[in-house]
Amino acid sequence: MISSTYFLPAYYLEPVLNNTQPYRFTTRMIDSSNKNRIIDYKVIREVEITYMGKRKELFVYHVLTTRVRIESDQTVKNKKLLKENIFAFGIIVLGVNEKGEIVKVYNLEEMENRWNKRTQTLREHNSGYEFEYFVNDIYNVLRNEEKILFFLNSRNMFGLYFHGLFGKNDINEIPKKRVAAILEFDDVTVTEEIWIDNRSPEFIITAQKSSDKYEKIISTNDEIKKYEGKILYDKNNQLLDGFLEIENKNKNIKYGVSWVG
């Protein structure tokens, strides 16, 4: 059983109404597939998350990306467009369920209109097949709620904050198991195992060969050599820090989120 000192049996991450909390999200990838040109690439996003109250059964959050930095030891192709990609999803109003999963985007039409206006400006200085592919790829996500929910729940976006690990039934299933996709490894899926540390308010995340399905995937794809993470809260259920490190033969990826208030 989870100690009552820390997590409550039910979802209890409801923050103070209209209180904006600043977080820093990072994704760092080291790609060593070419031994003569190892790439160290990092994306850092400064994000403000504001709880806006409940709408029916969902918790509503306003998520604002205020700054994006891209760092690399190599020249980054289309660096400005990569930032545009992130800012296309920079102002979002989300509906979150009792488990802490993003299940609704309330301002999809507004986001699409904003991207349409931004595209017109970008076309003044950009053209060609790659640019049109970039523009249309974002449109395809914005016009499909299923795609945008998958994207927003990924670790590349907000999956370490809205991680879906809370709910009334979580304490009865130790470890909690779920299938997760690794986008950077060609959507390879693994079976995550999430443990709750009774000594401190944190989740411990690993991936084990815990099912035939996982073992089959491992045998037909690059072996996942490391899959380790942790999500730490304070005693008031305020997220303080989270990370997940994934590694195979050629890539090492570290996702992180930190409260910077």
Taking only the tens place, the pLDDT of each residue in 148-191 is 999 999 998 999 999 988 765 455 567 888 888 787 777 778 88
Look at 98 and 26; give whichever has higher pLDDT: 26
Q: Choose the weakest-confidence range: 28-37, 116-125, 167-176, 206-215.
A: 206-215
pLDDT value of residue 106: 96
CA angle 69, 127, 130 (to 5 degrees): 65
Is pLDDT above 50 for 95?
yes
- Kindly state the helix (H) or strand (E) to which residue 219 belongs, with its residue range: helix 212-220
Residue 238 has pLDDT above 80, yes or no: yes
pLDDT at residue number 210: 42
Q: What is the pTM of this model?
A: 0.87
d(CA 133, CA 155) in angstroms, rounded, equals: 24
The predicted pLDDT at position 212 comes to 44
Q: Would you state the structure tokens that stand for residue 41, as one six-digit string?
A: 């690439």
Rg from Cα positions in the chain: 19
Q: Are 3 and 238 in contact (CB under 8 A)?
A: no
pLDDT at 173: 60
At 39, which amino acid appears? I
Judge whether 249 and 222 are in contact, CB under 8 Å: yes
Q: Going from the N-terminus, what domains does the chain have, and what CATH number goes with each?
A: 20-259 (2.30.230)
